[in-house]
Amino acid sequence: MKKIIKWSVISYILFGLFIAWYLFYGANTDIPTNLKGSAADPETFMNDQQLLLSEEYSQIKNLLYFLSIPFEWLIYIVVLVVGLSAKFREWSKATSKFSILQTAIYLFWLSLIVEVLSFPFQWVSYSVSKKYNITVQTTSSWMKDNMIDFWVNYAMMIIIIAVVFWLIRKSTKRWWFYAWLLSVPFSFFLMFVQPVLIDPLYNDFYPLTNKELETKILALADKADIPADHVYEVNMSAKTNSLNAYVTGVGSNSRIVLWDTTLNRLSENEILFIMAHEMGHYVMKHIYIGIAGYLVLTLIGLYIINKLMQVMVKKWGKVFKVSSIQDIAVLPLFLLLISMLSFASDPISNAVSRHQEKDADLYALEMTNDKEAAVSSFQELSRAGLSQVNPPYLVKLFRYGHPTMLERLTYTNEYEQE
């Protein structure tokens, strides 16, 4: 037990030191010489203070990201090894004789301890964003969103974990395949209800007040054969200075959404370019390709998790105080493996996403034929979010689902419509 904890902590510290060195000293974020003075050079659209702040802010946020994920792994390891998971199991069994209630009670204690121990990272991240004027959300509002997050995730996890462990107990060998089969309709269901049930818990959505702009956006949607009757506006200015727009949902619940910060800071042509980009995702069916890719990775991941759990429980079951994978106390190991495999697969999923985002950019350029609006919108996105134009390579691999601003500005500037 002591060895596992000791080496886990040592590994975490060494990883943290490496990441800190890499982000602050080892990574090269300079603009290539041949792009100096071009539209992709941040010195042409950021002042000295913005350049300094974007570098500092990005470094700190990236460090927090790379430290927070393995810290969650460390929590799961400690919860298993010191016997807390077994204690939660005993408390749940002593409280109720019904399996679903036992799962809910166990999951509450596990979720609570993970939330409490992870809270310092969340607080520092919020404080940094507020210091650099990216976040303008009040502390009470931020705490409210955190509480909503906790309870929404907890409610969904009760259903998911109850079903998964019921399948494990019914079919120890093939549970992973049956769980994957059930994840297919569940994923589509979540995408269908998110715009109308989940998103409104955090923000207020209402029809776009600028009807002239809405008419132009809907004309673009009609040109792209997108069945949309309304464009929605969301009041994000109470929380952030960042910009965003998106198309969400599936089927009859699909909707076009604009952050009010985007409406306030971008020109009409820039907004139309951004919306054409989002419509490109719809037209090229990126959302369905993304779901298909997610389901393939989920199938492979569940198969690997099943194999690893069997081996690890057999080898370290006594240390974990877990008798078999049917024991709910093995859940921290299950979540640990999910998180680790998800992190390991991020470079693949991000690479696919970056390819799709580039296609959507090119689609928007073709649709609007407005290269100047594209360039200026990307530059404003960089300024508003204080994002690095040329981030470190590891950051791009693990964090960037979009091409870097250097890449987007470069291929946009070089774009020529056939």
Q: Write out the binding residues for Zn(2+).
A: 277, 281, 357
Q: Which residues contact 320 (CB under 8 A, 6 or more apart)?
A: 80, 81, 85, 86, 313, 329, 330, 333
The b/e string for 81-114 (b: 16+ C-beta within 10 A; e otherwise) is beebbbebbeebeeeeeeeeebbbbbbbbbbebb
C-alpha span between 8 and 13 (Å, rounded): 9
Q: Which residue has the tokens 């060998």?
A: 173
Active site residues: 278, 361
Bridge partners, 214 (sequence order): none
Reduce the DSSP state of residue 207 to 3 states and report it: strand
Instruction: Enter the tokens of residue 240.
Output: 């952030």
Residue type, 164: V
Q: Which residues contact 286 (CB under 8 A, 6 or more apart)?
A: 280, 356, 359, 360
Q: Write out the binding residues.
A: 277, 281, 357
Q: How far is CA 247 from CA 185, 191, 275, 303, 325, in A?
A: 21, 12, 9, 32, 40
User: CA nearest 388: which of 374, 402, 372, 375?
Assistant: 402
